[in-house]
């Protein structure tokens, strides 16, 4: 496994593009992205569990019900959610991809992100299609990553190389997400590409399982979005033997690569939370089972009081114990140990459920770094889990108070 450049265009046979078409008022911001594979590939996706779902989700579900896709089209600036004509507009975007990019409209994954409840104008998208398709290139990943951003402050783009059955394969990803993110199936928009050959049902199994330990362990603000979608297209151009079962060495290699990339995406999403200054990572070790470890880790990173304390670099460890204490799982709080750590060192703050003496000055140094780890030891088994979040700052309120205007 090694990092490579190229993002979603790192795998063979993928091109991407991103342009400003006019959905966003700011002409300096790209707002329309397109990803196209040279050939039709197997496809899978996971969606939000919010009862209110963006219209593109229904259209994408229908389009990839057969397990295949060839392109992705996505706009930012408007979520196309809670609109009577939403599905009509999403289908129109797929038809535009067919007309201008030459792919079957039924092989298009469509997505939207932005303000909820505003009618999506199709005219800017139609007007921007020529430039969008003309811009398709093997170097277009970065432009596409920019075009799907909303309140994100940095592009989220990753790719890696791995081997399956002696063949070199690649996997790439772009993602967006900074607010309205809570662990409940997906939590953002993320588009993955790979040149590995893998059967549709096996691809879905891998994607679903990996998300449980990556994106479903991220929380920014406790709000699960209406438009969350993670999709993957596998075009098979690497030439490996088809991965036809969710078992064996070839599957494990693919699964490991997917876990590697999605962990990078998860950390990047959490670190770029709206208004965030620090990444919070909670590692739970020694739990009696994986479910308990995950519940505790999520409870810690979702605590608004703890997030505020981290913003102030305040070692208010009682808030950690409080969050562990209301976690909906069975464990002995009197066995819990907690450390705070960063590149500046480790500070023990709790042993056996009770506080221990520590240097507030040393703790301040540790918590002043931009990546903070909260290590929770249950001392009750061998299970582990990791969750990611961010601090809660004044800017979070400012960003969301005037997000629509």
Any idea which residues carry the catalytic annotation?
A: 187
Distances (CA, A) of 80 to 74, 89, 97, 112, 128: 11, 8, 17, 6, 18
For the purposes of burial, counting CB atoms within 10 Å of the CB of 39, is it exposed (0-12), middle (13-18) or buried (19 or more)? exposed
Q: How far is CA 316 from the centre of its chain?
A: 29
Residue 23 to residue 33: CA distance in whole angstroms: 12
| DSSP per-residue string spanning 311-330 | HTT---THHHHHHHHTSSS-
Per the CB < 8 A criterion, the answer to whether 254 and 196 are in contact is yes
Distances (CA, A) of 8 to 17, 23, 140, 218, 244: 11, 24, 8, 22, 23
Q: Which helix (H) or strand (E) holds 206?
A: helix 200-213
Q: What radius of gyration, in Å, describes the C-alpha atoms of the chain?
A: 22
Q: Phi/psi of residue 333, each to 5°?
A: -65, -25
DSSP β-ladder status, 337-342 and 156-164: unpaired
Among 66, 43, 45, 52, which Cα is nearest to 111's? 45
H-state helical runs in 64-197: 86-101, 122-134, 141-147
Q: Phi/psi of residue 266, each to 5°?
A: -60, -45
Angle at CA 18, nearest 5°, toward 15 and 20? 160
């Amino acid at each position: 496994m090694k990092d490579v450049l190229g993002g979603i265009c790192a795998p063979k046979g993928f091109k991407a593009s991103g342009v400003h078409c006019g959905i966003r008022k700011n002409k300096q911001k790209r707002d329309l992205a397109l990803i196209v594979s040279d050939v039709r590939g197997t496809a899978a996706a996971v969606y939000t569990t919010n009862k209110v779902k963006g219209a593109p989700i229904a259209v994408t579900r229908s389009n990839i019900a057969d397990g295949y896709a060839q392109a992705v089209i996505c706009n930012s600036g408007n979520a196309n959610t809670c609109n009577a004509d939403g599905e009509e507009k999403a289908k129109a975007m797929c038809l535009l991809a067919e007309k201008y990019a030459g792919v079957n409209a039924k092989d298009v994954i469509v997505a939207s992100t932005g303000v909820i409840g505003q009618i999506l104008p199709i005219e800017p998208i139609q007007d921007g299609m020529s430039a969008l398709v003309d811009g398709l290139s093997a170097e277009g990943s970065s432009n596409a990553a920019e075009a799907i951003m909303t309140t994100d402050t940095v592009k989220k783009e990753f790719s890696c190389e791995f081997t399956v059955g002696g063949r070199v394969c690649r996997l790439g990803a772009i993602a967006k997400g900074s607010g309205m993110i809570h662990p409940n199936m997906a939590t953002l928009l993320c588009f993955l590409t790979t040149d590995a050959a893998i059967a549709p049902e096996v691809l879905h199994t891998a994607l679903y399982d990996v998300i449980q330990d990556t994106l479903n362990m991220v929380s920014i603000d406790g709000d699960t979005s209406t438009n969350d979608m993670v999709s993957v297209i596998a075009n098979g151009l690497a030439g490996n033997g088809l991965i036809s079962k969710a078992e064996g060495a070839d599957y494990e290699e693919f699964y490991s690569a997917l876990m590697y990339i999605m962990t990078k995406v998860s950390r990047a999403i959490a670190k770029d939370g709206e208004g965030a200054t620090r990444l919070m990572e909670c590692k739970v070790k020694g739990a009696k089972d994986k479910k308990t470890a995950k519940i505790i880790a999520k409870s810690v990173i979702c605590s608004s009081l703890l997030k505020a304390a981290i913003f102030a670099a305040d070692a208010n460890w009682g808030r950690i114990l409080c969050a562990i204490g209301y976690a909906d799982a069975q464990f002995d709080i009197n066995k819990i140990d907690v450390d705070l750590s960063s590149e500046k060192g480790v500070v023990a703050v709790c042993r056996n459920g009770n506080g221990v003496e520590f240097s507030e000055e040393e703790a301040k140094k540790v918590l002043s770094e931009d990546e903070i780890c909260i290590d929770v030891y249950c001392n009750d088994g061998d299970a582990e889990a990791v969750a990611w979040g961010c601090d809660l700052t004044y800017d979070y309120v400012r960003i969301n108070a005037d997000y629509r205007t």
